């Protein structure tokens, strides 16, 4: 009796191999397509057909069939063939009904529409609803927030700040300053855990200890991305002016300094002291438009790399971690480029209408 041997390895370009690997890692691809990609990758690795079938819990004939179709047609061979039968009942009218439903108030007891609720409302298949939503790129469970500034000086202030980024005054220094109050200190056990599907993920113990807060003051030089950071365990009105005095005293009086700050009360009351620094010009971001301050970008990077998923026993440990990041970030820092997407009139109108509802 002949034992099954290794099947010849199919031809595969590097581009197709990368696409198959990406498909296997995908969390949104259909399971059957992921399974077929796994079959082909194992065939490309030279594994025996029976071994592949055993590991993936499929029949050997299934492995042979998809390997044959990939060898003959490439990636196109992994897709389902057109099937005969009754045509789909879901046409343009069905699409219109689903989209119109999403514009209506959700059913009683629900804050938002979901697939089953839409299907029940239209008396149709929930799978058809999901297929349409995926096709239209609509994610009912995904949430994004938006901020619309209602300040009457928004256009003038925004143009002033963006102008400093794109075309700063000659021989002038542009600095973005911000305060991040009340960074909480958590101490908890952190490690790696194995999930139900066998994958390894970061694990955090649910119980933790609080060890106070740290107020952080940051200053970003727009032209070089050089950072200056200072922390304080207290929330005092004089901390921001003290940080500003220390920052400006080291820059001298030889050239103009333009400081971009948020328009919160502490900044406006304590930061606006031009008499002591005649070469300093303050620029306040409009109401609800802190995203105009580039130092927010730096804080997001620092937060994801230093704060997220970390534990600190004392304020000193947190301060040392932030200082260490500032030192390591500096040598490879590059200035941020202003690429904020423009909001067209229709989008802004819709956002304002939604905000008022």
* Distance, CA of 257 to CA of 274 (rounded, Å): 11
- On whether both 186 and 247 belong to a single domain, the answer is yes
* 193 in Cβ contact with 201 (< 8 Å): yes
Asked whether residue 32 is domain-assigned, the answer is yes
Confirm whether 346 is domain-assigned: no
Q: Tell me, yes or no, whether 227 and 301 share the same domain.
A: yes
DSSP 269: H
Question: CB neighbours of 64 closer than 8 A, spacing ≥ 6?
Answer: 7, 49
Tokens representing residue 333 in the block? 């820092």
My answer on whether 71 and 99 are in the same domain is no
**Do 315 and 190 fall into the same domain?**
yes
pLDDT score for 314: 79
- Crossing angle between the packed helical segments 31-44 and 49-56, to the nearest 10 degrees: 150
Average pLDDT, the chain: 81
121 belongs to a structural domain = yes
Q: Quick check: 3 pLDDT over 60?
A: no
Convert the pLDDT of each residue in 244-297 to its tens digit.
888 887 777 778 889 998 876 444 454 445 456 778 888 888 888 888 888 888
- Determine whether 8 is exposed, middle or buried from the number of CB atoms within 10 Å of its CB (0-12, 13-18, 19+): exposed
CB-based contact 23:34 (threshold 8 Å): yes
Are 121 and 159 in a shared domain? Answer: no
Rounded mean pLDDT, 144-155: 75
Summarize pLDDT for 209-256 with one digit per residue, the tens.
Answer: 777 777 788 888 888 888 888 877 667 777 777 888 888 877 777 788
Are 218 and 265 found together in one domain? Answer: yes
Q: What is the CATH number of the domain that holds 291?
A: 3.30.420.10
Per-residue pLDDT at 150 exceeds 90:
no
Q: What is the pLDDT of residue 271?
A: 47
φ, ψ for residue 328, nearest 5 deg: -75, -30
Domain boundary among 52, 78, 104: 78
pTM above 0.75, yes or no: no
Give the range of the structural domain holding residue 184, as residue numbers without chain letter: 154-329
Same domain, 62 and 168: no
23 by DSSP, 3-state: which?
helix
Lowest mean pLDDT among 49-53, 84-88, 234-238, 312-316: 84-88
In a domain, 163, yes or no: yes
Q: pLDDT higher for 105 or 230?
A: 105
- Total count of domains within the chain: 3
Contact 139, 268 (CB under 8 A): no
**Any domain includes 319:** yes
| CA-based torsion, 260, 262, 263, 265: positive or negative | negative
Q: Tell me: do 192 and 311 sit in the same domain.
A: yes
Same domain, 98 and 223: no
Which of 74-83, 146-155, 224-233 bottoms out in mean pLDDT, i.e. has the lowest? Answer: 146-155
Amino acid 38: pLDDT = 93
129/196 same-domain check: no
């Amino acid at each position: 009796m002949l034992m099954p041997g290794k099947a010849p390895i199919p031809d595969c370009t590097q581009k197709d191999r990368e696409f198959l690997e990406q498909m296997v890692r995908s969390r949104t691809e259909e399971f059957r397509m992921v399974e077929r990609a796994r079959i082909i990758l194992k065939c490309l690795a030279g594994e025996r057909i029976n071994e592949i079938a055993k590991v993936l819990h499929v029949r050997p004939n299934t492995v042979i069939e998809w390997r044959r179709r990939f060898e003959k047609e490439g990636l196109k061979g992994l897709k389902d063939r057109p099937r005969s039968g009754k045509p789909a009942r879901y046409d343009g009218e069905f699409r219109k009904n689903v989209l119109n439903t999403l514009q209506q108030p959700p059913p009683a007891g629900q804050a938002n529409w979901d697939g089953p609720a839409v299907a029940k409302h239209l008396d149709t298949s929930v799978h058809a609803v999901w297929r349409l939503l995926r096709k239209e790129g609509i994610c009912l469970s995904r949430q994004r927030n938006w901020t619309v500034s209602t300040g009457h000086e928004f256009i003038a202030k925004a143009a002033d700040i963006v102008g400093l980024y794109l075309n700063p005054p000659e021989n002038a220094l542009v600095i973005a300053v911000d305060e991040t109050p009340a960074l909480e200190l958590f101490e908890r056990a952190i490690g790696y855990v194995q999930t139900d599907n066998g994958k390894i993920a970061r694990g955090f113990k649910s119980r933790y200890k609080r060890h106070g807060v740290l107020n952080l003051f940051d200053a970003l030089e727009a032209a070089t991305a050089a950072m200056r950071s200072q922390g304080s365990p207290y929330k005092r009105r004089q901390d921001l002016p003290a940080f500003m005095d220390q920052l400006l005293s080291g820059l001298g009086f030889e050239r103009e300094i333009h400081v971009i700050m948020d328009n919160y009360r502490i900044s406006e009351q304590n930061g606006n002291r031009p008499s002591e620094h005649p070469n300093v010009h303050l620029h306040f971001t409009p109401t609800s438009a802190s995203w105009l301050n580039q130092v927010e970008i730096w804080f997001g990077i620092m937060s994801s790399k230093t704060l997220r998923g970390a534990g600190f026993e004392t304020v000193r440990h947190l301060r040392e971690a932030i200082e260490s990041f500032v030192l390591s970030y500096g040598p490879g820092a590059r200035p941020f480029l202003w690429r904020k997407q423009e909001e067209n009139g229709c989008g802004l109108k819709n956002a304002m209408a939604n905000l008022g509802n």
